[in-house]
Each structure stands twice: as C-alpha cells, then as structure tokens.
Structure 1
Amino acid sequence: FPSILRRGRLTLSISTNGASPTLTAQILEEFKARFDLSYEAYVDFLYECRQHIKRSNLTTQEKQDFLKHVLDPSYRDKNKQIKMIKKLESLN
C-alpha cells in the first residue's frame, strides 16, 4: 500500500510496491520535512494565480511565463503572494 502525504490540494504518494515498506516510511518522513504545513497555503496561492491567469487576456506565452514565475521559492512569502494576486486581479 502506498503512503500518502496531503497538504491541502497537494497529494504525494510513495510506494515501493512492497519491496521495502521501511524505505517507503523513510521517504515519507523526508517528504514531510520537505513539504511542511506551509505548503497548503502555498498551493492554494498557486491555484488562485492559475484561476486569474486563465481568465486573463494574456497570450498563451505570457500565461505560461506567469505560471512559471510564481513557482519561484520567494512566493512562499505571504506578502509577496498578496502583491502578486493584486497584480493578477488588475489584469482582468
């Protein structure tokens, strides 16, 4: 059985298909440390950005550029997220 880590909209599944449940557990612990509870809010931010971008009149390339841009680790910062959402709201 796979081990599952959920952080809001983010779901990660880990399995060794029975080869090593201990390794699965070890990887799960590594994922828990890497994808801490703050990822729930971060993924929600990415979702909100995507919704604004999809509704915008930007070109396909501009949309792709924005979606890649907000993956920058600096957008884990709540203040930076708020500024970006305001910027995206002004596009509509």
Structure 2
Amino acid sequence: MYYPINLKIDDMKIVIIGGGKVAYRKCMNFLAFNKKVKVISQEFIEEFEEIKNKIEMIKDSYDEKYIKDDFVVVAATNNKEVNHQIGTYCRQYGKLVNVVDDKELSNFTVPSFVKRGDLLLSVSTGGKSPSLSSKIRKDLEEVYDESYEEYVELLGQAREMIIKNTDDIKERRKKLKELLDLSFDKLREIYSK
C-alpha cells in the first residue's frame, strides 16, 4: 500500500533510465516542478530534442554509475530485465525507485496531478487503473482552472496578514475560515499586495 506524501525535490538528484514515451512523460512531470533531471538512454524519442536544454541527456546504456549518487530513480527502459536490475539495486541502497513495469519492485509511484501554482491535486489508483486516474485528473483540471494559481497565492498572503495582526487564537481561526467565503474579487480587493 502506498502512503501519500509530497517531496521537496529541490536538492534531490533525479535520474530516469530510458528514452521512450514513458520516460519522456516521467521527465515532463519533474520539469513541471522546475526540477532538472538526468536521462540515460542509448536512443531518445524525438520529443526529448525539444527539452534537451532543460535536462541532462546521456546517450549510453544503463550502468550503476549513473544512479549511484541519485536519490530518486525511474526505471523506464523497454527491457524488463534491466528495469528489474535497476529496481533491485535501488531498493538495496535505500533509493526511491519507480519501476514502470513492476509496481511491486517500486517503492513510489507518481500519481496523476493538477498543478495550479502551489495548489497540487493528485489522484492515484495504486497502479490498478492509470486511465481512471487520468480521467479524474482531466475532470479536476476543468473544475480547478488556471485562476486557482492566483487564488491560492492571495489566500497565502491573507493568511500571513491575519496571523501577523491577530493575537487571539479563536479570532484568528474565525478570520481564516471566513477567507474561504469571500469571492475571488473581494479577496483580491482586500489582500492583494
């Protein structure tokens, strides 16, 4: 069973082994969080050309030296045996590993997600139905559109101001709850810096 957790990956070294569509999709997930990753493969699909300045591409076959110093590893080759080798090594050395064709060997999965600034909504079926996760993600994208990025930012600013200016804990809680009843325009009018 998987435990939901958000990782601060700023200082983590991340490597993806594989240069196909799945590896590309995993790579794009990390780039959505402004994280540069290292990608190892003998061949890369064309889409990697478009992002080559945002990642470190190494044209080579898998070797342990490429994952030795990394903490997060994605095994996304088209070779089940190589993926198993990567997963086994990572588990032995306490690394986070996602083996795309072996959820039992993986110790983390990447859920479908919607990211709107600091708002992060994620959906997982524990690997049982990625297509259901994708469908729910698409539904969430419609409900929580791009405006939520600014909305969450304003809520954060308002929260800081209330905490700074309200000493009484009960009053503070009341004001924080009332924030969610304000319209977006009213919130912007009162708390926009």
| Shorter-chain TM-score tier | 0.7 to 0.9
The secondary structure found in structure 2 opposite 1:27 is: helix
Amino acid at match of 2:190: M
1:46-72 Cα distance to aligned partner (Å, 9 max, x none) = 000111011113411111111111112
Counterpart contact for 2:166–2:172, Cα < 8 Å:
no
Alignment partner, residue 137 of structure 2: 28
Matches of residues 53-92 of structure 1 in structure 2 within 5 Å?
A: 53-72=162-181, 74-77=182-185, 80-85=186-191
Identity level (%): 36
CA distance in 2 between partners of 1:69 and 1:57 (Å) = 14
Measured in 1, the distance between the counterparts of 2:188 and 2:143 equals 24
Task: Quote the Cα distance in structure 2 between the aligned partners of 1:49 and 1:6.
Answer: 21
Distance in structure 1 (CA, Å) of the matches to 2:120 and 2:141? 11
Q: Flag the structure with higher strand content.
A: 2
Deviations 1:65-90 (A, max 9, x none): 11111112x4222xx1244328xxxx
Give SS of 1:19's match.
Answer: coil
Aligned to 2:122: 13
Unpaired runs of 5+ in structure 2? 1-109
**Whole-angstrom distance in 2 between the partners of 1:47 and 1:81:** 11
What are the ranges of 5 or more consecutive residues in structure 1 without an aligned counterpart?
87-92
TM-score, scaled relative to structure 1? 0.81
Q: Residues 69 and 57 of structure 1: is their aligned pair in 2 closer, same or farther, counting only changes over 3 Å?
A: closer
Greater RCO, CA 8 A, separation 6+: 1
Query: What's the TM-score once normalised by structure 2's chain length?
Result: 0.41
Q: What is the one-letter code of the residue matched to 2:171?
A: E
Pairwise CA RMSD: 1.8
Aligned length: 84
Structure possessing the higher radius of gyration over alpha carbons: 2
In structure 1, what is the equivalent of residue 153 of structure 2? 44
- After superposition, the C-alpha distances for 1:13-58 in whole angstroms (9 at most, x for unaligned) are 1110111111101100111011110000100110001110111134
